[in-house]
Amino acid sequence: MRGVPWRGRGARAVKQCQPAFAFRPGPRFNDLPMLHPVTPGICYLVGAGPGDLGLVTLRAKECIEMADVVAYDYLVNKQVLAWMKPDAELLYVGKQAANHALPQEEINQLLIRKVLEGKVVTRLKGGDPYVFGRGGEEAQELYAAGCPFEVVPGISSTIAGPAYAGIPVTHRDFNTQLTIFTGHEDPTKEVSSLDFSKIAKADGVKVMLMGVGRMGELTGKLIDNGAAPETPVALIRWATTGRQQTLTGTLATIADLVEKHGFKAPAVCVIGGNVALRPELNWFENRPLFGKRIVVTRTRNQAGALNQALKALGADTYEIPTIRIEPPHDVMAFGELVQDCYKYEWIIFTSPNGVEAFFEMYYKLYKDARDMGPAKMVAIGPGTAKRISEYRLSVDFQPEKSVAESLVEEFTVHAGTIDNQTILWVRGESARDVVAQKLHEKGAIVDEAIAYRTVPETVDLTGGQERFRTEGADVLTFASGSAVDHFMALGLPIPPETKIASIGPVTSAALKRHGLKAHITAQQHDIPGLVKAIAAYFAKR
């Protein structure tokens, strides 16, 4: 039995080359004033959209990915911050009513200073930077300071919010005019630029931003200036997200309804007859999981598929990554086993992470998939099989049950006999050794390739932990036993009303070890199966 043959190999010696000389600047060089580099950086004024991550533009994502500094506002969906470079500087400069992280003038100077330091700065704003986002002021300041800048438009909540509430802001049968105005002007202005006599008498639909706190005053001025009191009104809070709430009334009643329901900002106000189309066109709020707060505990890189599937059903998802995937401690040992993969008759993959790590290493060593030779592929779980298929390779065997205990028995039946057959088992560092042990008992020659390790995720980049502490959740999802263990290590109290969803029996067993139970268990042990189980659970209720 070969076991793990590469563990005893030492690291190859690397000759250290010393430079022939080293330049040390003299006193005269050090005394020179360093105002800014010869080539300054650039500032991207980026619209991050109205809240739904799917409404962020591709250009916005590019700007976040290349940024040395990211300065973001209160209304920006924090999930976009996961696209940042690991070493990027993150600055919160958001503004809420009576609570500004930084005054606007200080924000302007901050952007200028970072650009003059040669940094690529991405300034993230909710919606569009030029639609009541003060982007024009920041662009002027950058121009005056000689700083290059680029404006990246975003989808404004003035159109996206009504659309997600089932209200078209224009409709050929009803209106050909759209008026957008703000209910919150610069408090230092001596004279208001809002002419309520013109706004009240304007045809078509009117959309107002930042006016919930003054709703009684603002609707009163519109009525006093000729607007019909019975004009339909809708307020959309946290528009385009799973937290969206819509309140409807008329100009005469909406202020009292705001008070009665405790309706607060941030919200978009739509005024006009098109609001009456909402019962027909309300596509978003009628989804089966709408408003259900669901926590995704997968790694940041893996959370996307589960997030996307749940959001498609209307869920309000947010992430609490508990683990992250890192290379194994002995990368050389892993690489040498991958290099010799053509010598094996079978390669067993037990997780998508193992598949990804294996082929990332493989294509550093080989240029052609055919160099893998005659090795046949075994996948535990449909998610693992799917990941293999993405490399344009077929899975030769997949057990019906996605658990290690079932693999060996089913595999033995499939292969006929595994006595003296060579098998490479690609696994994580913390994976249970059940597979290797049982294969050895059947006479197989097994090498274990440690492809990756899971470590605790210590950074709460998107604020998921804080939201769970303050708001809780309807469902807490787990897709692995290690995610359970690391979540419990965070010490976050689980509210009694929160239901726990498990991807399968191994994960459920991990929950049981911590004194927890799975209220929802996927029958098909993959992400689509987990989503299906959650949807079915709420459908019964």
Q: In this predicted structure, what is the pLDDT of residue 20?
A: 37
Compute the distance between CA of residue 513 and CA of residue 194 in angstroms, rounded to an integer.
63
Mean of pLDDT values over 443-453: 92
Question: Which residue shows structure tokens 């991807």?
Answer: 503
Above 60 in pLDDT, residue 182?
yes
Average confidence (pLDDT) over 24-45: 58
Band (pLDDT 50/70/90 cuts) for residue 193 is confident
Cα–Cα distance, 487 to 13 (Å, whole number): 40
Percent of the chain with pLDDT over 70: 88
Q: Does a structural domain hold residue 57?
A: yes
Q: What is the mean pLDDT of the chain?
A: 87
What is the pLDDT, as a whole number, of residue 300?
66
CA-to-CA separations, 190 to 79, 134, 186, in angstroms, rounded: 39, 19, 9
Burial of 269 (0-12, 13-18, 19+ CB in 10 A): buried
Residues labelled catalytic: 73, 95, 210
C-beta neighbour count of 355 within 10 angstroms: 26
DSSP state of 332: H
For residues 23-40, give the mean pLDDT.
45
CA distance 536 to 427: 32
Indicate whether 11 belongs to any domain. no
Which of 13-27, 187-201, 418-432 is modeled with the greatest confidence?
418-432
pLDDT bucket at 463, cuts 50 / 70 / 90: confident
Task: Reply yes or no on whether the pLDDT at 9 is more than 50.
Answer: no
**Portion of the chain with pLDDT greater than 90, in percent:** 68
Judgement on whether residues 383 and 414 belong to the same structural domain of the protein: yes
Considering the domain boundaries, does residue 499 fall inside one? Answer: yes
pLDDT at 6: 37
Establish if 10 belongs to a structural domain. no
Mean pLDDT in residue range 238-255 = 96
Tokens of 7: 């563990």
Model pLDDT for residues 282-336, shown as the tens digit of each residue: 999 999 999 999 999 977 666 678 988 999 999 999 989 888 888 999 999 999 9
Look at residue 33 and tell me whether its pLDDT is greater than 50. Answer: no
Q: Do 127 and 48 share a structural domain?
A: yes
C-alpha span between 118 and 115 (Å, rounded): 5
What are the two backbone dihedrals, phi and then psi, of residue 347, each rounded to the nearest 5 degrees? -125, 120
pLDDT tens digits for 332-371? Answer: 999 999 999 999 999 999 888 999 999 999 999 999 999 9
**Residue 23 within a domain:** no
Radius of gyration from C-alpha coordinates of the chain: 29
Plot region of 253 (φ>0 → left; ψ -120 to 50 → alpha; else → beta): alpha
Residues shown for the chain: 541
Query: CA-to-CA distance for 508 and 397, rounded, in angstroms?
Result: 25
Give the end of a domain, one of 105, 133, 155: 155
Counting Cα atoms < 13 Å in the Cβ hemisphere of 332 gives: 8
Tokens found for residue 33: 């004033």
Q: For the ranges 280-294, 379-393, 465-479, which has the lowest average pLDDT? A: 379-393
Distance CA(185)–CA(80), nearest Å, equals: 29
Residue 211 and residue 177 share a domain:
yes
Q: Decide which of 259 and 441 is more confident.
A: 259
According to the model, what pLDDT value does residue 188 have?
A: 58
Task: Identify the residue with better confidence: 28 or 150.
Answer: 150
Residue 524 lies in a domain: yes
Q: What is the domain extent for residue 432? A: 326-456
* Domain match, 517 and 532 both: yes
User: Hey, which residues does 122 pair with through a beta bridge?
Assistant: 44, 70
Q: Are residues 340 and 445 in the same domain?
A: yes
Q: Residue 175: pLDDT above 60?
A: yes
Confidence of residue 438 (pLDDT cuts 50, 70, 90): confident
Q: What angle do CA 154, 158, 162 make, to 5 degrees?
A: 120
Asked if residue 387 has pLDDT above 50, the reply is yes
Residues 334 and 421 in one domain: yes
Amino acid at 512: K
Q: How many domains would you assign to the chain?
A: 4
Same-domain pairing of 451 and 462: no
Which of the listed residues 409, 437, 456 is the one where a domain comes to its end? 456
Statement: residue 499 has pLDDT above 90: yes
- Give CA–CA dist 45/529, Å, rounded: 41
Which of 85-89, 415-419, 517-521 is least confident?
415-419
Instruction: Check whether 131 has a pLDDT greater than 90.
Output: yes
